[in-house]
Amino acid sequence: MSSDRINSPRARKLISPELHAKMFPPERQAGSFIFMDAPQHTHYRRLLTGQFTVRRMRDLKPRVHEIVTAQLDAMIEKGPPADLVQDFALPVPSLVICELLGVDYGDREEFQRRTSKLLSLKTTVDEQIEVGTELRRFMQGLVQDKKRSPGDDLLSGLINDTDLDDELTGIANLLLIAGHETTANMLALGTFALLEHPEEFTKLHDHPELAENAVEELLRYLSIISMGVARHAKEDVTLGGATIREGDTVVISVPAVNRDETQYPDPHELRVDRPRGHHVAFGHGIHQCLGQQLARVEMTVGFTELLRRLPTLKLAVPVDEVPLRTDMSIYGVHALPVTW
């Protein structure tokens, strides 16, 4: 199976050569290692592995705690009602990834707006190309700034390993988008799930030592990469009695795998004290998410402090009025009105 969906036989068949060249020029493909196979993927993975060590992510925990506390202080001071997405779930991972990459937090509205457009299922191909170009231009400027004045951030560290602007721009683009969108949606949708299951909310509040367990359970239960993981077959494969032909596209349903009844008892139930088991919310194998340890730290601290500070948290609107992100490639909620 191949991850290179950009140059897959099916992509080449469905997209004209002219449009393919417009959508995926070489400079745009550089650094986008999630759409690559070995050995190209291996090259980029090695560049980043040293930057995303478990130890480094855990060393960030005190700073993550400071960011979470500051956002909760501001939200509580402003008073209810609040939109948990804008006041907490989005700012926390955005601040963390900005610090990690060395991006000015003042630029967050610019990249968040463009990222949202890029991930919208309603965005046309021409709009995708335009927004993608704008994001690359933004990151190219950042790369040049880091080359002139390097700091102790991750992007400056990568400059020591490669001086290719297109590679650095592609890597930074990918990390910035993945580093705030996914965790932000897990914080918001995870809180929504806990509010819909008050007994689990209370259990986690009363037993904060369950936080790491609860994070794994929420990742399994929610599976926000709901559109699935796409691969294409490089040769004929027989699986489960079915034959997948060379060139065929395969989409792995993450929610289906994470709620597999042969792997989990009562998989459709949310249990924050469920014994930690294997799930594929972060992918699997060589393409498993590089930033998963950082995401775990952010969610563990975020849920623990949110429930500790706001034990009476509740929805400020009826459940069916919460706007779900069914129009986006990453699932979640557009807003989460809450009160306390």
End-to-end CA distance of the chain: give it in Å, rounded. Answer: 49
The reply to whether 42 falls in a domain is: yes
User: Rounded to an integer, what distance in angstroms lies between the CA atom of residue 302 and that of residue 96?
Assistant: 12
What pLDDT score does 78 carry?
97
The reply to whether 108 falls in a domain is: yes
Domain count within the chain: 1
CATH code, 211: 1.10.630.10
Token pair in block for residue 336 = 């989460």
User: Rounded to an integer, what distance in angstroms lies between the CA atom of residue 23 and that of residue 25?
Assistant: 6
Listed ranges 173-187, 227-241, 294-308; the one with the highest mean pLDDT: 294-308
* Cis status, amide bond into 81, omega within 30 of 0: yes
Chain centroid to Cα 107, Å, comes to 19
The reply to whether 237 falls in a domain is: no
H-helix or E-strand containing 90?
A: none
What pLDDT score does 96 carry?
93
Average pLDDT over residues 243-253: 91
Exposure of 128 by Cβ count < 10 A (0-12 exposed, 13-18 middle, 19+ buried)?
Answer: middle
User: Rounded to an integer, what distance in angstroms lies between the CA atom of residue 132 and that of residue 181?
Assistant: 16
- pTM given for the model: 0.92
The reply to whether 169 falls in a domain is: yes
Give the pLDDT confidence of 25-40 residue by residue, as tens digits.
888 788 888 889 999 9
Determine the structural domain holding residue 332 and report its residue range. Answer: 27-224+277-339
The reply to whether 6 falls in a domain is: no
Higher pLDDT, 21 or 317: 317
What pLDDT score does 163 carry?
63
The reply to whether 265 falls in a domain is: no
Higher pLDDT, 10 or 143: 143
The reply to whether 191 falls in a domain is: yes
**Does residue 257 carry a pLDDT above 80?**
yes
The reply to whether 229 falls in a domain is: no
Q: What value does the mean pLDDT of the chain take? A: 91
**Does residue 228 carry a pLDDT above 90?**
no
What pLDDT score does 87 carry?
97
pLDDT band per the 50, 70, 90 thresholds, residue 211: very high
